[in-house]
Chain A
Amino acid sequence: MTLVRERPAVSSPPAEFRGSRRSYAVFPVHLAMLAWAVVTALPLLWAVVSSFKTDDEILNHPWSLPASPQYGNWARAWTEASIGRYFLNSVLVVGGALLLTMLLGSLVAYALARYEFRGNRLIYYTFVAAMFFPVFLALVPLFFVVQQLGLLGTYQGLILVYAAYAVPFTVFFLHAFFRTLPGEVAEAAFIDGCSHGAVFFRVMLPMARPGLVAVGIFNFLGLWNQYLLPLVLNPDPDRYVLAQGLAALSVSQGYRSDWSGLFAGLTIAMLPVLIAYVAFQRHIRAGMTAGAVK
Chain B
Amino acid sequence: MRHGRWRFLAGALIPALVLHVVFVLSPYAQAFYLSLTDWTGVAGEAHFVGAGNYARLGGDSLFLDAVRNNAVMLIVVPLVTIGIGLFLASVMQLGGRGGRRGIAGSGAYQIVYFFPQLLSLVVIAVLWGFVYNPNNGLLNGALRAAGLDGLTRSWLASPSLALPAVMAVLVWSSVGFYVVLFSAAIDGIPRELFEAALLDGAGGWATFRRVTLPLVRESVQVAFVYLGIAALDAFAVVQVMTVGPGGPDGATEVIGLSLYRNAFQYGKFGYASAMGVALFFATLTLAVLALRSGRKERLEPA
Do A and B come together as binding partners? yes
Across the interface, do B284 and A132 meet the contact criterion of CB distance under 8 Å?
yes
Bits for A31-45, please: 1 = Cβ < 8 Å to B, else 0.
Answer: 011001101111110
Q: How does the 8 Å CB contact mask read for A258-294 relative to B, with 1 for contact and 0 for none? A: 0100110010011001100100010011001100110
Q: How far is the CA of A107 from the CA of B240 in the complex (A)?
A: 38
A255 interface residue, CB < 8 Å from B?
A: no
Cβ–Cβ contact B119 & A225, under 8 A: yes
* A285 with B180: CB separation less than 8 A: yes
A22 in contact with B277 (CB, 8 Å): no
The interface bits of chain B over 219-238 (1 if a CB of A lies within 8 angstroms of the residue's CB, else 0) are 10010001001001101100
Main secondary structure of the interface of B (DSSP, over half): helix
Nearest Cβ on chain A to B92's Cβ, whole angstroms: 7
CB of A206 within 8 Å of the partner chain: no
> What's the Cα separation between A270 and B118 when bound, in Å?
9
**Chain A 161-176 interface 0/1 with B at a Cβ cutoff of 8 Å (1 = within):** 1011101100100000
> Roughly how many angstroms separate A105 CA and B142 CA in the complex, as a whole number?
48
Q: Mark B16-45, 1 if CB is under 8 A from A, else 0.
A: 110110111111101100100000010000
Q: Does B19 contact A224, Cβ atoms closer than 8 Å?
A: no
- 1/0 contact string of A100-140 vs chain B (CB within 8 Å): 00001101101110010100000100110010111011111
- Nearest-neighbor residue (CB-CB) of B108 within chain A: A37
A8 / chain B contacts, CB cutoff of 8 Å: 188, 190
Residues facing A in B42-57 (CB within 8 A) are none
Select from chain A the residue with minimum beta-carbon distance to B276. Answer: A137
Taken residue by residue from 169 to 200, chain B's Cβ proximity to chain A (1 for < 8 Å, 0 otherwise) reads as: 00010011100110011011011000100100
Interface: B292 (CB within 8 A): no
Contact check, B12 vs A17: say whether CB atoms are below 8 A apart.
Answer: no
Residues of A contacting B11 with CB < 8 Å? 107, 197
Q: Check A29 for interface membership: any CB of B closer than 8 A.
A: yes
Residues of A in contact with B, size category: 35 or more
A144 CA to B43 CA in the complex, in Å? 10
Residue of B nearest to A64 (CB): B141
What's the minimum C-beta distance from A81 to chain B, rounded to whole angstroms? 13
Is residue B159 within 8 Å, beta carbon to beta carbon, of the partner chain? no
- Whole-angstrom CA separation of A276 from B112 in the bound complex: 14
Q: In the complex, A252 Cα to B195 Cα: how many Å? A: 59
CB pair B269 A140 closer than 8 Å: yes
Docked-complex contact B9 and A134, CB < 8 angstroms = no
Quick check: B4 and A195 within 8 Å, CB to CB?
yes
Query: Bound state CA distance, A168 and B29, in angstroms?
Result: 17
Residues 138-180 of chain A: 1 if any B CB is under 8 Å from the residue's CB, otherwise 0? 1111111110010000000000110111011001000000000
Closest to A42 in B: B138
A212 interfacial by beta-carbon distance below 8 Å: no
CB pair A108 B97 closer than 8 Å? no
**Cross-interface CB contact of A277 among B115, B136, B233, cutoff 8 Å:** B115
**Using a CB-CB cutoff of 8 Å, which residues 91-130 of chain B contact chain A?**
91-92, 94-101, 103, 105-106, 109-123, 125-130
B116 / chain A contacts, CB cutoff of 8 Å: 40, 44
Extra A-B contacts (5), CB below 8 Å, given A29-B91, A140-B269: A37-B113, A139-B263, A168-B24, A200-B8, A247-B236
